[in-house]
Structure 1
Amino acid sequence: MCLVFVCDEEERVLGRQTAPGACPYCGGMVQAIDVESQWRFCFLPLCFKTKRKYYCTMCTRRLETNTM
């Protein structure tokens, strides 16, 4: 008997905006990207999540936000 699990995560960019502030590493402009991720198990969608990620346009680093 063989048991195989097929899991997949697909990400799709919904939109891009310029964010206020500057990159702490190089001083470049910060870009906010809205991303929709979809988890699938055997081609059946399980979960949809929309996230906002921040990237520097010059050094292409992913930036973290400190929300307290």
Structure 2
Amino acid sequence: MCLLCLCDEEETELGRQQAPGSCPYCGGKVQMLDVERKWMFCFVPLCFKIKRKYLCSSCESRFVSLK
């Protein structure tokens, strides 16, 4: 008997905008990315999540938003 698990995660970029402020490491511009994550099991979509990520356009550092 063989058990095969076909799980996949896709991440697509929905949009990109400039965020206020600058990078604390290099002083570059900060960008906001809207990203959609899709989890799939055997080609059937299970979950969709849309998240906003912040990153520096110069040094590619990722930031965490504290609310």
Q: Structure 1 length as normaliser, TM-score?
A: 0.94
Q: Following superposition of structure 1 onto structure 2, how do residues 25-64 of structure 1 map, counting pairs within 5 Å?
A: 25-64=25-64
Report the RMSD for the aligned CA atoms in angstroms.
0.6
Looking at structure 1, the residues matched to 5 and 18 of structure 2 have their Cα atoms a distance apart, in angstroms, of 40
Provide, for residues 5-60 of structure 1, a one-character-per-residue CA deviation record: whole Å limited to 9, x for no partner.
Answer: 11100011100000001111111100000000000001100000000000101101
Gaps of 5+ in 2: none
Q: Following superposition of structure 1 onto structure 2, how do residues 2-41 of structure 1 map, counting pairs within 5 Å?
A: 2-41=2-41
Structure 1 runs of 4+ with >2 Å offset: none
Number of residue pairs aligned between Structure 1 and Structure 2? 67
Q: Structure 2 length as normaliser, TM-score?
A: 0.95
Looking at structure 2, the residues matched to 35 and 66 of structure 1 have their Cα atoms a distance apart, in angstroms, of 18
